[in-house]
Amino acid sequence: MSEHSAVTVVASDLDRTLIYSAGALGLTVPDAEAPRLLCVEVYEGKPLSYVTERAAELLVELGRRAVFVPTTTRTREQYGRVRLPGPAPTYAICANGGHLLVDGVSDPEWARGVRERLDAECAPLGEVRERMVAAADPEWLLKERVAEELFAYLVVDRARLPAGWVKELGEWAAGLGWGVSLQGRKVYAVPKPLTKGAAAREVARRVGAGQVLGAGDSLLDADLLLAVDRGWRPGHGELADAGWVSSRVTVLEERGVVAGEAVVRGFLGAL
């Protein structure tokens, strides 16, 4: 990346970093003092995800001043439900880096390259999915899904999930070139070569970025935070629980939806 380029790429995770479901808002102030919220996602006719109104205003400014790249583990269909304030992003990263969207359409060359790396470097999805489901208990397993034929995840009753189950699955998966992440009610099994960071670097290359900023809250965001020039993580989430730090990453005190606002403030402050 050229130091003389004025272009900044901002690659940010969405769920529990920028946008928050009602159950993840994490508001600790009295109701009368709670920030006004803007709904940015509707699912089955019901509001699902929110940002603060101030965060919405800041996102509009960010979209004018930088190449903003929503960066998510969501499938393309799930990402399509999100309506963030500001100009429509030219680039978006879905399926944890499996799809690089350009004006809403998956770049076929990028997707083909991802498939080739997965075939060469890790065990097949079917093997990992089978073990993952077999190891789960129907008492706490609510759903199991495959995303974009790239990775698998379980929806679980978090309160009943046994302590140590995710760690044990992760140790097994690591030997096959896969990683495991627990985010809210979802347990993800994702191939290690499938990364948000690689896709963010590709966007930076295409636009000739002089600076890349990023944010995330989960273990699936760690490679992204290590790939950027400056990063931010909320005071909640997998990375916070693990005490994950990096010299280039600012650890925010804020938790919940107000952390999303703090993330965008951090981005704008770095421009």
pLDDT at position 4: 46
* Structure confidence by residue, pLDDT tens digits, 248-268: 999 999 999 999 999 999 999
Dihedral sign for Cα atoms in the order 235, 241, 246, 247: positive
CA nearest neighbour of 257 among 75, 10, 39, 32:
39
Q: In the chain, pLDDT over 90 holds for what percent of residues?
A: 96
pTM over the 0.85 mark: yes
Q: Alpha-carbon distance 244 to 238, whole Å?
A: 9
**Cα 170 to Cα 61, 181, 258, distances in angstroms:** 40, 8, 31
Give me the residues paired with residue 51 across strands.
38
